[in-house]
Amino acid sequence: MVRAAPAAGNDYLIELQHDAQRMGLAARPEWRDLLHDDAGLGDTRSSIISDWFFVAPTGRHDPQAELDATLAAFFDPSPRAPRGESAQCIFGARYRWLSQQLHFDARRLPQQACGRRAQWMAALAPHAVWVVFPSAYLNSPASMFGHTLLRLDGDETQAGTPLLAYAVNYAAATTEHNGLVFAVRGLTGGYRGQFSVLPYYEKVKEYARLESRDLWEYPLALSDDEKHMLLLHLWELRGAEFRYYFFTRNCSYELLTLLRVARPQLQWGHRYDWRAIPTDTLRTLSPFLGAPHFRPSLATQLVDQAAQLDANERHVALALADGRRAADDPALMAMPRDAQARTLTHANDLLYYGFLSGERSREAALPRSQQLLRARAALATDAGFAPTPPPTDDPLQAHDTQRLALGAAFGSDTRALSLGWRPAYHDLLDAPAGYGPGQQISFLDIAARLDLRDGHLHPATENLIDIVSVSPRTPLFRPISWRVRLAGEPSRLDGGAFGGVLEGGPGLSFGRFDALVGYAFLQTRADVNADLPRGWGLGAGPLIGVLANPLAGWQVQAEAERLQAIGDAGGSRTMLRFGQQWSLSRDLALRSELRYERWGGSDRLRADLSVQHYF
């Protein structure tokens, strides 16, 4: 219920409400952004679902009613539940913007003292704002496309200690660890999202240490007034709950809306009405971003450290970290002093990484770490490692995330033109610049073929989800590679009923992405199709492949797959595939593929050539 304004302010309130309606303020994008209105989706409802955030009973879906009620509430100094502050003190950004538009008369609408808010803003008081992009993390559905957050640098960070800054983060409020459950609930709005302000070092620990994600930090050009408006709106959003959607109203979209409150010139039209991917939103901000700073994860630092050691030093460091050698081991003592220092440092960092990843207990790791640190300190040398260099390309240099493919297919039973569309995101043949190597995240990759022999249009394989993680094993790290694919495809090579397929499994990978990587998966497959004897079938078998980048802009992939049906679900399937892609520019490429398949009593050899346009 809207509180009535004091009698002395009624006339002025009516005047303000009339002026606001005459000026059409409720329809202005600045007001809609303050309410986090989802008008871009054809809906006038706010994405915020907390009732207290709206002064009018219908404020969530009626911007005019909310504006009128907000003006009325500004005349009332009494605290509002649940925040325990007056409307002026809660909704500082609304007050500031409406005052700028309507030129509030301080004698008729006195500005109230807001001590708690002033203290909070003084504690943050950023002299610089950074946009932070943690790289994609395939083991978490919430972060498989990357993430964006803000870093607020206050006075304590001017001495070169950015870890003492504050982070502004938006995320789903959940402790769910099951990736499938999170994906389903995230896609259907089953979670609530919230903004939080917390020490930046906590996010660095979470991303760069626990999840082995590199961070890209971009300085954001904001004036002092824009920074002030940013903090006022953050204060408004304290405790506000949003409806969280994995693809649309996610971290990147809500962060953009937060920044647009501070800088209304930031516009993106209808670009993010149905999908908001962090790298895309980062590009929207790119005109206001400076040169990035690269903050490598602990895993990236360990790989770089190992490259700066010789083979013997790496071997000794691993043995020290594993406890197979002591800090006074003759093999270590025989090294020059500087080499000893680097080996001990690397060993301790390996030990710490093992503790963070859960491979080593605190009880086992702590005494060993103390021994290594004492030995390192006794050397009294400044010898260390050169800083980890950043990758050649940052996320802003990556290809765009949507793809349109126009091509032709020819083979033993095929003469066709094809048109394909993929709204997200990246596959193993796409140019890897700006993306993590060995990572594939393909969503809704659909295509249709026009058969040149009969003029009929046929659906091709529709990959709803195709995620691949190729992570080579090394002496330092032994990750498990994996793949999962959900698709629709016909029951036979020559057609048949269209059905659903779910396949995937774990695997191992070896090699280096700057040379050659080989991988092998042990897959299981489930089919649901009307042409199968029981309407469904199961199968299992290996998939092996190699990835190579012979030249800059040239990606090559070869795969062989063998699937054996279980029971009476059919015979075996064999697939051999060779694909390559040439990048003509960042967002244009030429792709070719030669594929041989044998299953369902027939075989087929087909060649595809297509132009890939990213946008």
Render pLDDT for 390-441 as a digit per residue (tens, 0 to 9).
999 999 999 999 999 999 999 988 899 999 999 999 999 999 999 989 999 9
The predicted model scores a pTM of 0.92
Q: What is the pLDDT of residues 364-383, one digit of tens each?
A: 999 999 999 999 999 989 98
Q: How far apart are CA 309 and CA 320, in angstroms?
A: 15
Alpha-carbon torsion, ordered 348, 349, 354, 357, to 10 deg: 150
Check whether residue 358 and residue 402 sit in a common domain.
no
* Whether residue 148 is found in the same domain as residue 252: yes
Task: Assess whether 278 and 350 both reside in one domain.
Answer: no
Residue 447 tokens, joined: 């295509």
Residue 303 lies in a domain: no
pLDDT at 180: 67
Answer whether residue 3 shows pLDDT above 70: no
Domain boundary among 73, 96, 113: 113
505: confidence class by pLDDT, cuts 50, 70, 90: very high
- Position 436 scores a pLDDT of 84
- Facing residues of 603 across strands? 598
b/e map of 55-83 (b: 16 or more CB within 10 Å)?
A: bbeebbbbbbbbbbbbbbbbbbeeebeeb
Residues 514 and 561 in one domain: yes
Is 388 within a domain? no
Residue pair 615/587 in contact by the 8 Å Cβ criterion: yes
pLDDT of residue 567: 77
Whether 342 and 385 have beta carbons less than 8 Å apart is answered as yes
Residue 424's H or E segment, with its range, is: strand 424-426
- Residue 100 is predicted with a pLDDT of 98
Asked whether 379 and 341 are in contact (CB, 8 A), the reply is yes
Percent of the chain with pLDDT over 70: 96
Query: Within a domain: residue 304?
Result: no
Average pLDDT (300-329) is 97
Helix (H, G, I), strand (E, B) or coil at 487: strand
Residues 109 and 176 reside in one and the same domain: no
User: Residue 207: which of 124, 140, 258 has the closest Cα?
Assistant: 140
* % of the chain with per-residue pLDDT over 90: 80
Q: Is residue 385 one of the residues assigned to a domain?
A: no
Angle, helices 298-307 vs 337-356, to 10°: value is 150
The Cα–Cα gap between 35 and 50 comes to: 11
Q: Answer yes or no: is pLDDT of 241 > 70.
A: yes
Collapsed DSSP state (helix, strand, coil) of residue 383: coil
Q: Please compute, for residue 438, the number of CA atoms within 13 A of its CA located in the half-sphere on the CB side.
A: 26
Mean pLDDT of 288-303: 96
List, for residues 553-601, the tens digit of each pLDDT value. Answer: 999 999 999 999 987 666 789 999 999 999 999 999 999 999 999 987 7
What are the tokens at 492?
């036979």
104 pLDDT higher than 80: yes
**What does the DSSP assignment read for 320-338?**
HHHTSS-TT-HHHHTS-HH
- Which of 295, 322, 354 is the last residue in one of the domains? 295
Q: What is the mean pLDDT of the chain?
A: 93
Mean of the pLDDT values across residues 116-126?
97
Q: Are 189 and 243 in contact (CB under 8 A)?
A: yes
Report, as an integer, the average pLDDT of 53-74: 98
Inform me whether the pLDDT recorded for 325 exceeds 70. yes
Residue 155: pLDDT band by 50, 70, 90 thresholds?
confident
355 assigned to some structural domain: yes
pLDDT at 105: 97
* Rounded Cα gap, residues 243 and 254, in angstroms: 11
* End position of a domain, from candidates 295, 324, 359: 295
Confidence of residue 4 (pLDDT cuts 50, 70, 90): very low
Task: Please report, for the domain that includes residue 486, its CATH number.
Answer: 2.40.160.40
Q: Are residues 170 and 205 in the same domain?
A: yes
| Residue 603 pLDDT greater than 50, yes or no | yes
Residues 351 and 287 in one domain: no
pLDDT at 611: 99
Q: 131 with 92, same domain? A: no
**pLDDT above 90 (res 273):** no
DSSP state of 358: T
Exposure string of 319-355, with b = 16+ CB inside 10 Å and e = fewer, is bbbeeebebeeeebeebeeebbbbbbbbbbbbbbbbb
Average pLDDT score over residue span 27-50: 85
Tokens 């990147």 label which residue? Answer: 252
Asked if residue 147 lies in contact with residue 251, where contact means CB atoms within 8 angstroms, the answer is yes
pLDDT band at residue 2 using 50, 70 and 90 as cut-offs: very low
When divided into structural domains, the chain yields a total of 4
Place 462 in a pLDDT band, splitting at 50, 70 and 90. Answer: confident
- Per-residue pLDDT averaged across 112-132, rounded? 97
**Stronger pLDDT, 195 or 490, i.e. the higher one:** 195
What residue type is assigned to position 513 of the chain? Answer: F
- The label of the residue with tokens 């191992």 reads 508
Domain that holds residue 189: 122-295
The confidence score (pLDDT) of residue 42 equals 53
Same-domain status, 346 and 267:
no
Check whether residue 106 and residue 129 sit in a common domain: no
Whether 359 and 263 map to the same domain: the answer is no
pLDDT over 70 (residue 48): yes
pLDDT at 412: 82
Q: Does the pLDDT at position 508 exceed 80?
A: yes
Lowest-confidence range among 101-110, 169-178, 591-600?
169-178
* pLDDT band (50, 70, 90) for residue 43: low
Query: Which range among 181-190, 250-259, 531-540 shows the weakest confidence by mean pLDDT?
Result: 181-190
Residues 348 and 461 in one domain: no
Phi, psi for residue 264 in degrees, rounded to 5: -60, -20
